[in-house]
Structure 1
């Protein structure tokens, strides 16, 4: 809209400047002779037409100044919007970073619980598998479980650690 208005004004002011040149040229071509007590056509035009043309020039200058001020105001507003958007993006990134940290802590907690759960079932399975061997060497069930727990927990922890390293 601003460009369209500016183009229309520039076209009309440009046309006015061309008309001023044509009128002045035509008045010069007339080569009027002065008649005593009468105003020449050039004087009449100078008194009536020239002030109107100066008003057009003045209006053009004011319109250009207003357009420049509007342009500066639009640029300031655009800058303000960009600053606001940058601040929002920064807050969003901070929030996403906090969520990622929380998810990482939650993942580590779940991995720790997984080690415990897998170890529990693995110890019981190993105890069932090694029960006949333990009876043969006269090892009690409690002692068998006590011996299996550190070995199985260490094995499960190493397995989870290796899986995590291959994924990351």
Structure 2
């Protein structure tokens, strides 16, 4: 369970992972190829992408196709166990990739600066509904975290969505 208390913390106390989300107002979206267990249940990559984009937009984050913007990446993993008939384990992972300056290397790298996930075991018949719900939950948590970080860090000069500077 994640508890976001960011608006009540002073800036230096806000976790750097959350600080990196401040002022994000637009993102690009990528969805990995879906596992066969989900494709067999008529889930498509395009439908999952559309759902994620709509969830982000509902949360106030604009989705763009081109240009410089952090990238929200969604990865869905499903595992089966022959000893557990009728159930599937799943992991829905959401990451935000941003370009950061690594002082030690004096290089700009694009790396995940934020990650969250939902894991569980579900009956096969409920898998698609659970995965869809998990996507919405993660997108909502991300957009709330963006708003919370923005409220604390604010729109200070030089603090733009495509540039995050993390010290070693």
When normalised by structure 1's length, the TM-score is 0.23
Relative to its length, the structure with more strand (as a share) is 2
- Structure with the bigger RCO (C-alpha within 8 Å, sep 6+) is 2
Q: Is the radius of gyration larger for structure 1 or structure 2?
A: 1
